[in-house]
Amino acid sequence: MPLMHSARQFTLLRKRCSQARPAHQPWISLWCRSKHVTGLTDINDAIEVQTQALDLTPDNHTDKPGHIENLAVTLHSRFELLGEVKDLDYAITLKQQAVNLTADAQRGKPSRLGNLSASFLRRFERLGELADLEQAITVQQQVVYLTPQGHADLPSRLDHLSSYLLRRYERLWELSDLQQAIVVQQRAVKLTPKGHTDKASRLNHLGIALQLRYERLGKLADGKNAILAKQQAVGLLANNNKLKPSLLQSLGNAFQSRFDDLHKLADVNHAIDFQQQAVGLTPEKDTHRSNRLHSLGNGFQSRFELLANLSDIDEAISLKQQAVELMPDGHADKPSKHYSLGSAYRSRFKSSSDSSDLDSALSAFQNACSAIAGDPSVQLDAAIDWANLCSDPQSALPAYEQIFQLIPMVVWLGQTIGHRYTELTRIGRMVNSAVAAAIAVGDFPKAVEWLEEGRGVVWGDILQLRSPLDELDTQYPHLAKRLKQVSRELETAGRSSRSKKFEKSKSRTTLTGEQEAQKHTKLADEYQKLITEIREKDGFGSFLRPKKLSELLPAADNGPIVIVNVAKASCDALILPSSSSSIIHVPLPTFSVEQGQKLHSKLLSSLTAMHVRMGRNGLRMKPKMAQNSVANDSGGTKDFQSVLAELWTHVVQPILSQLGLTEPSDNPEDRLPQITWCTTGALAFHPLHAAGIYGSRDPRENVKTSDFVISSYTPTLTALINSASKIKPIEKPSVLIISQPATKDLDPLPGTQKEAEEIELCVSSDYTKHLTDDQATITAVTSELGKHEIVHLACHGIQDSKDPLGSSFALHDGGLNLQALMGLSLDNVRLAVLSACQTATGDKKLPEEAVHLAAGMLAVGYPSVIATMWSIGDEDAPRVARSVYASLFDKQEGENMRGLDSAYALHEAVEHLREEVGEMNFVKWVPFVHFGI
């Protein structure tokens, strides 16, 4: 009867609406707000009435902003009911209009801004777009600014601002956001009167922020104050308060966090106590019960790992099993529950060696990573742990298959977060293990495919290359947009249900666990349908799949490629011959990860002893320092000699033997074959091109890599394929020479002027352009790069491992970084000569990623790059330049220049330099390396 009455009222109102005068509009809007519009029919009716009422209200009417906002609120309600983003978009547009029509001095302005801020946050929660979160913060800051001191709503508005800042901290990992959130929340707590209903929640929010800072910085005072704030919050609530279980769980989490840091029994006992209280106050059918049982299980597992009391791990497994069973299938948080259960079974297996626990752990990890919905990063963790638990390579292969399906989702489709760098390091190590497993079972094609997928994804992400998603966005933007939205929603769903750290927007509808599961399943189904649809498009059949071996073999068209995989399980080389599709496997049983790391440390120590700079600024050695580097330290030279000998004996010599290269050619006219090294792990830092036995009393025992082959390097096989596709015949290549003899705040490089002169002697002035000193500005250089096939950069190089795109070449008015180079059109370039320091030095924390200027120049578009592994002597660069350009341009007289010439030219130049400076003067001739083709 009430519904019929409401319908008759609405019909009458709609009939009169077209005849209503402006004075009646407030009454119409009030009627819409007074109705309890919970059903879709009611909401649609209200929207229709409010829209007509709004249309009849003049723009200059004082109630216009209120009518606009009322319609926006109702649209937001329909969004929460149906999930149609277009309703939320329109609501935001209307709320912005209402705000714009309200003067700052009007009392309602802060409230309207607050509603707008909440809608931006809600859209961020739905789509994951950082811009919406930024807007939410900016608008909420306006809310706080316009709220008078002493206003009753100021603490609440500060509380909201703090929670938004914490959201951004979770996303970007910027410490400044966390620091600001704490300051704002402290003010919110201070301004909240005693006895206020929200005092406890605001104290808890402060405790959460302090706990986050404790986990980030490790300051014990933060951990202590987090616990104190949460204890105060819990003490303010009666047991029958609906918020009490949540705050008890939060307090338990604070003690658990401190236990994870200090491993004190009292902390884990407190954690268990408060989590037990939280579970005890949570009704059986409460949607939060699963999470609270899980948190309690974590406490018991931690105490077991401290005291080894089996009853604790038994209880942990029981609680986590209940948590899994209570979480509906399809819920995005279920994978994390399975993963945690697996970790508990694994913990008990390590203690009891009971094979049933191992089987249960493997099963739980498999369930976690194969679920249809969930946070891909959690599923990746589960797949990695699954692989690590397997007893042999064959049984681990399905786990690795799962890993390589998840990696693109985590990297290409995942959120951009501050600790992505660490995540990529972990993926790199795992890739090496996967490749070792494939090699162990004899599946060499799979090993090559996996290695390329792992290195390609990581390297591409670091340098922000065009991802598969970028290509999709170019051709099918609507599919790319929806795929990103669905991926972010799945990821957000998996994270938000595990983390209760951040207050959700007030307007968000509360769903039951089953409803959430249905929503997440729907998202997962849509994701799979999108992937299927994309793979049906021309050119996207392998979208987010590893490239097949047949697609990678063309990388070896210009010469054999030697992939060296260094993993804990084994070290192996895989050779891709240029004339066959058969992969040659070369076991390296006498080399190991540990040996590679020791050799790297030894190499660094020897370079330091010989006064070679390896720091971030990458300066060239001063002439006197370079001249005396060997004379002043024979110990450093001996260590270097030892490193090169071990690399020869354990790595290079077995590989060359397999290629049939056992004796150097007797004919000096013979052209040596070229091979390209693609190294991983600890070997990513070692000069395989210079490996050999040096200084033997019997000259017949002296042998080195360059006696047999011309060496080049590549970060990935795809980089070679891309480089080869750019090679076109050139009759007369032109050279852009950049020299900086004196750069502000850096050591002078007088040799760069001589270097430029040597090049100009080899190349006709019609085919050179020289920018030096103040001519070599960022603008001038970038405008000239695309006009010349070759660029020669005789300047300081500065490498930034934390931000690889910030790595730069020091010009007259600043650094020309890779970010700027990425934006240039460099379609016809051929060779970059980086006569700067350590332009091919990697980051030891991230060996699988070719994080250096040489790899960056390949990514920018140069098919061939000559670079240096460490600081070079200022007087050596002109010698090498003279030899390289004489070789390049002598050989191309009357014919086209070939892409391979740069590798041969460098090989000959280094041979000449070695003869001039002495073979044992490793620091001077070893650093010169070639990348690409």
> Which CATH number fits the domain that encloses residue 787?
3.40.50.1460
Whole-prediction pTM: 0.77
Confidence (pLDDT) at 468: 64
DSSP characters for 430-489? Answer: HHHHHHHHHHHTT-HHHHHHHHHHHHHHHHHHHTT---HHHHHHHH-HHHHHHHHHHHHH
In a domain, 258, yes or no: no
With beta carbons less than 8 A apart as the criterion, state whether 825 and 484 touch.
no
* Domain identity same for 491 and 559: no
Give the separation between CA 930 and CA 720, rounded to whole angstroms. Answer: 12
In a domain, 249, yes or no: no
With beta carbons less than 8 A apart as the criterion, state whether 381 and 339 touch.
yes
Give the separation between CA 325 and CA 168, rounded to whole angstroms. Answer: 33
* Domain identity same for 79 and 41: yes
Q: Where are the alpha helices (DSSP H) in 282-354?
A: 289-307, 310-326, 334-352
Joined together, the tokens standing for residue 425 give 């390091």
Joined together, the tokens standing for residue 698 give 């019997």
Single residue among 713, 741, 769 that ends a domain in this structure: 713
> What values do phi and psi take at 586, rounded to 5?
-125, 100
In a domain, 247, yes or no: no
* Cα 792 versus chain centre, distance: 32
DSSP characters for 258-281? Answer: HHHHH--HHHHHHHHHHHHHHHHT
* Domain identity same for 787 and 697: no
> What values do phi and psi take at 856, rounded to 5?
-60, -40
> Which parts of 680-796 are beta strand (E)?
692-693, 703-704, 710-713, 735-739, 768-772, 790-794
Give the separation between CA 799 and CA 808, rounded to whole angstroms. Answer: 6
* Domain identity same for 639 and 651: yes
Rounded to the nearest 5 degrees, what angle is found at the Cα of 419, between the Cα atoms of 208 and 598?
Answer: 125
Give the separation between CA 912 and CA 879, rounded to whole angstroms. Answer: 9
In a domain, 600, yes or no: yes
* Domain identity same for 808 and 853: yes
The one-letter amino acid at 42? D
* Domain identity same for 742 and 681: no
In a domain, 279, yes or no: no
Residue 71: which domain range? 1-101
Confidence (pLDDT) at 497: 46
User: β-strand 674-679 against 561-566: which pairing, if any?
Assistant: parallel
Q: What is the DSSP letter of 660?
A: T
Confidence (pLDDT) at 770: 96
Joined together, the tokens standing for residue 880 give 């090498």
Give the separation between CA 890 and CA 875, rounded to whole angstroms. Answer: 23
Confidence (pLDDT) at 498: 43
* Domain identity same for 532 and 559: no
* Domain identity same for 680 and 814: no
* Domain identity same for 383 and 463: yes
Per the structure, the count of domains in the chain is 4
Single residue among 692, 713, 734 that ends a domain in this structure: 713
Contacts of 731 (CB under 8 A, 6+ apart): 896, 897
Rounded to the nearest 5 degrees, what angle is found at the Cα of 624, between the Cα atoms of 623 and 625?
Answer: 90
Question: In this structure, what is the dihedral angle of CA atoms 804, 810, 811, 816, given to the nearest 10 degrees?
Answer: 0
pLDDT tens digits along 777-822: 999 999 999 899 999 999 888 877 666 677 889 999 999 988 788 7
In a domain, 650, yes or no: yes
Question: In this structure, what is the dihedral angle of CA atoms 562, 567, 572, 573, given to the nearest 10 degrees?
Answer: 0
In a domain, 338, yes or no: no
* Cα 47 versus chain centre, distance: 43
* Domain identity same for 434 and 485: yes
With beta carbons less than 8 A apart as the criterion, state whether 201 and 500 touch.
no
Rounded to the nearest 5 degrees, what angle is found at the Cα of 264, between the Cα atoms of 258 and 265?
Answer: 115
* Domain identity same for 372 and 477: yes
Single residue among 487, 512, 547 that ends a domain in this structure: 547
* Domain identity same for 568 and 531: no
Confidence (pLDDT) at 898: 45
Contacts of 730 (CB under 8 A, 6+ apart): 789, 830, 896, 897
Q: Identify which of 363, 400, 405 has the alpha carbon closest to the alpha carbon of residue 383.
A: 400
In a domain, 640, yes or no: yes
Question: Which positions of the chain have pLDDT values less than 50?
Answer: 1-36, 414-419, 462-465, 496-509, 615-620, 622-632, 845-851, 892-896, 898-900
